[in-house]
Structure formats: structure tokens, C-alpha cells
Structure 1
Amino acid sequence: MISRFKAEIATATLTASLGLVTVIGALEFGIGWGDAGPESGAFPFYIGLLVIGASLGNLAQMARDRSALQAVFLDREQAHRVGSFLVPMLAFVILAVTLGLYVATALYLAFVMWRQGGYHLIVSAASGVAAAILFYVVLEYAFQVPLLKGPLESALGLY
């Protein structure tokens, strides 16, 4: 069980860290004024400061009203639901890199429709393949946007 208080601390710490990384990175590019105006790091620097300030504000607000944050943020059942979507998405990313985006899309949609949607396996598989073919036609031919392809597309000569 994760309390809302712990989740707020973790989120504020993460966003403050990202803001700090942005500020440090912006300093490498310069944050002052050059001959042509502001240097390239000026905008990211101030955005990073804004993110850090907002994170510190969240921490201060949390410290002030801690009693309201004792509620449960994530219990076992909710974590299971989150995981039931997170694990297939991670598998999709791995499959997209190894097998190509269209094959990964077909497999992901078929699996999610079958396991989480409760559809019959044949309907799920047909829908996944149909969606992948539709995406291929629309993206590759209509919009002429080539996406990551894998060994199956190569074997079919779809490069």
C-alpha cells in the first residue's frame, strides 16, 4: 500500500530533479544575452527553475496539509490493474524494437483485446492484424511516413 503522502513526495522529488537537470544542462549552453539576443540555454534554464519552484511549492503545501494526504494512493488491487496495462505496454516496446512496429501493434492489440477486453481469440487476432494493416496503408502510403519495420516486413518485401 502506498499512501498519497509518499506518492506526493516521490512526484515532487522527481519533478524537482528533472528541473535541476534542465537547469544544469541549460548552463552548458549559456543563459545570458549574446549579440543576437538570449543564448540558447536561457529559455530551458528558466523553465527548469519554474519546475523546481513548483515542486518545492507542492512539497510545502503537502507539509502544511499532511492530514489530507494519509489516504491510500495505490493498494494491491489498483497496482494489479496498473500492472495489467503496464506489462503489455513494456512488451509492446520491446517487440516494436525487435519485430517492428506493425507486428508489435498487431500482437499488442490482439493480446489486450483477448485478455483485458474478453473478446474471442479469433476476433482479437483478426482485429490486431486488421489494425496493423490499416496503420501500414495509412502511414506508409497515404502519409508517406516510414516507421520501424522488422524481419516480417522484410521477408514480405514491404520495405
Structure 2
Amino acid sequence: MILPPLLFAGLAALFLFGMNREGGDALESTREGGVVPELTTTALADQPEFDRDVLLGDGVKLVNFWASWCAPCRAEHPQLVALADEGVAIYGINYKDEAPKALGFLDELGNPYRAVAADTEGRTGLDWGLYGVPETFVIDSDGVVVKRFAGPITEQILETIIRPAMETAAE
């Protein structure tokens, strides 16, 4: 009779401990602090392409993994368009998608990417440590990943995480 309440109390204590840990729900990235990995991608129809050498070049760059079937990708898209309008170099990797649908997505919402690659098999996503889409990587002039952000970029995330990471990458 006493065992069930004790088990419940123990599980409740573990749950509360887990909820109050430092770091919260942040996903760690093995890519932060390392040089961008190789790209195993193909062209997305007639879109301008890019390769790893572009990501190793001068300037702060964003690499954004996205897909037409991804609702959060649609939600973050206005922030990407706004960044592109400011002159931020954004490179898109279309993840496990069909080219006609991906192109339709860009036609409908606008294309914020300087260049786009297709990761139809998901190999590049694996190499980059992708958890899902959308994910955005901030890269410095040496090709080092300064920040990896998993999830849609909201206005708040843009101001509190992405822009500060871009400032760090520019140093």
C-alpha cells in the first residue's frame, strides 16, 4: 500500500528536477565551433547553386535548411526575406523535398536565398547534425559555425539569438 505513493513521489521528483535543469530545451550542436562540413547536394532546378567553398569565403553567412512540407518553415520565411532585404547572405538547403513543390514554395513566399541546393536524400542533413527543419546555421568568414538554431526564426529569436550570433561571427 505504501509502495505506489512512494513510486509516484519519486517519479514526480525526477520530473520536477528535469524541468528545472539549466539549459532547458536547448539542443546542443556538435557543429558549433567547427568548420562547415562538406555538402552532398544537387541543384534545385534552375536555381543558383553553391558549394562548400562559398561557405568558407569572406563575410557572415546563414545556411537555412527548409522544406515546402514544413509549416514552421513557412512561419519563419518572412524573417528570412527581411534579412535578405538587408543584404544578409542566406544559402538555402531544401531538405528531402520534391523540386516542383520547393519551387512553388519560393514562388509563393519569395526567395530569400542567394543560392539553393537540394538535399533530397538527407545526407547533408546528417553531416550537419540536423534534427529537423527548419534549422539555421550562422557561419563566420573562416567557415566556422558560430551558432546553430533549431526551429523557426521568429522576430524574437531573430533579435535575441540570430542577430547576436551574426555580430559575433562578424568580429
What TM-score does the superposition give when structure 1 sets the normalisation length?
0.24
* Bigger helix fraction: 1
Larger RCO of the pair (alpha carbons < 8 Å, separation 6+): 2
Higher alpha-carbon Rg: 1
* Bigger strand fraction: 2
